[in-house]
Amino acid sequence: MQYTWNTPYSFEMASIPKAAAEQLKLASALQLRVLVWLCCVGQGRFDAPSCAIACGGSPEACEESLRYWQAQGLIVLNEESAPPVAVAPAPVVAEPIAPPAEPTPPPVAPVLLPVQPTAAARPTRAEVLDVQASDPQFAFLLHTASQKLGKPLSPADMAVYLYLYKEVGLPPEVILMIIGYAVKNGKAKLSYIEKTALNWAEDGITTIAAADAHLCRMEKRDDAWKQVSERLSLDTPRPTVAQKETAYRWVFEWSVAPDVIDEVARYTVEKLGKFQLAYADRILERFEASDIRTVAAAKKELEAPQKPQKKRTSRMKTAEDRAPSFDIEQYESLAMRHRPRPPKQED
């Protein structure tokens, strides 16, 4: 099916950049209407109230839509401050002479309350737009992040990414790797992305090579937990980092055979009445130190009688245990032979 413009309107064409077609799936309905208004009515000038009436939105929402097209690189805003308004000088009015005031008491010193610490301030929207216009790497970060997340970035999103880029010092490629990992695992929330980025920076993961190695370990850790949990039928929908690290040691560091894991799990349930990952981990750690690799060796080790623990005795001795410091029989003999003497009379 082909079409042509109706003749009366063919001479009133307005040009729209072809790059806008790439945003048809990402831009909202209001953002698309604002773009059409800019091309057909605005003629290089943006009036928020007029745009709001034509597009059916609030002036603030229309201005936010304008910022979206600026973030996509389709328009450039030249924000000029309005000229100062001249204010006529106020007429001089003679003030009445007031009677002398009564002496006032000395001022009381105010009570100073402790200042509560505040969180680190995020960049403002003006700072974000300024860096986006002057720094190609940050503009690339915002554009690619919007594509990976499948939605336009809000001013709050842009402020967080500028904070991670400028203040924390993470390269745009590392931030995009974090976003890709979050999207892959269904955690594409700004709070999760920011927390993960701060943890990476604290751990020194600030280069592409370090980030790639860390992501590889995280993927192996997830894979190890999947193998162990499915083999042992563990119902843990949200495993902790410690549990994943334990599974990673079993599968990738110690290379424990699956049947050995089954035997240790059986022994753990038999001893404790239920399976405990930490208890099984201590057993497998002992197997690793003793180079126990087969099921036969594992059964032999688990069925071996445990060495009885030595009974600890106290070093404190009672009066019955201590030997007397003198001879009791000799003392009794001396007491029987003792004859008291009368007191000496004085003259």
More confident call, 268 vs 319: 268
CB 243 within 8 A of CB 225: yes
How far is the C-alpha of 71 from the C-alpha of 183, rounded, in Å? 22
So where are the chain's domains? 15-71, 121-206, 213-304
0.85 exceeded by pTM? no
pLDDT at residue 57, rounded to an integer? 77
Average pLDDT over residues 68-87: 61
Contact 224, 218 (CB under 8 A): no
C-beta of residue 267 within 8 angstroms of C-beta of residue 283 = yes
How open is the CA angle 327-333-339, to the nearest 5 degrees?
A: 135
Q: Does residue 25 have a pLDDT over 70? A: no
Q: Output the CATH code of domain 15-71.
A: 1.10.10
Q: What is the pLDDT of residue 308?
A: 59
Q: How confident is the model at residue 304 (pLDDT cuts 50, 70, 90)?
A: confident
> Residues 225-245: what's their mean pLDDT?
90
Residue 122 has pLDDT above 80, yes or no: no
Average pLDDT value over all residues in the chain? 78
CA distance 211 to 177: 8
Q: Residue 235 in 3-state DSSP? A: coil
Q: How confident is the model at residue 194 (pLDDT cuts 50, 70, 90)?
A: very high
**Alpha helices, DSSP H only, in 203-313?**
208-232, 241-248, 258-272, 277-290, 295-303
Structural domain 121-206, CATH architecture: Orthogonal Bundle (1.10)
pLDDT value of residue 88: 42
Residue closest to 162 by CA, chosen among 191, 135, 195: 135
Q: Which pairs with CB-CB distance under 8 Å and at least 24 residues apart come from 10-14?
A: 14/39, 14/40
Interval 4-18 mean pLDDT: 60
* pLDDT score, position 108: 52
**Residue count (the chain):** 347
Is there a shared CATH topology between the 15-71 domain and the 121-206 domain?
yes
User: Cα(347)–Cα(340) distance, rounded to whole angstroms?
Assistant: 22
Residue 89, pLDDT > 80, answer no
Give the model's pLDDT for residue 201.
Answer: 94
> Tell me, what's the pLDDT at 315?
58
Whether residue 46 has pLDDT greater than 90: no
CB atoms within 10 A of CB 258: 14
**Which of the given ranges, 33-47, 73-87, 208-222, has the highest pLDDT on average?**
208-222
Q: Are 141 and 171 in contact (CB under 8 A)?
A: no
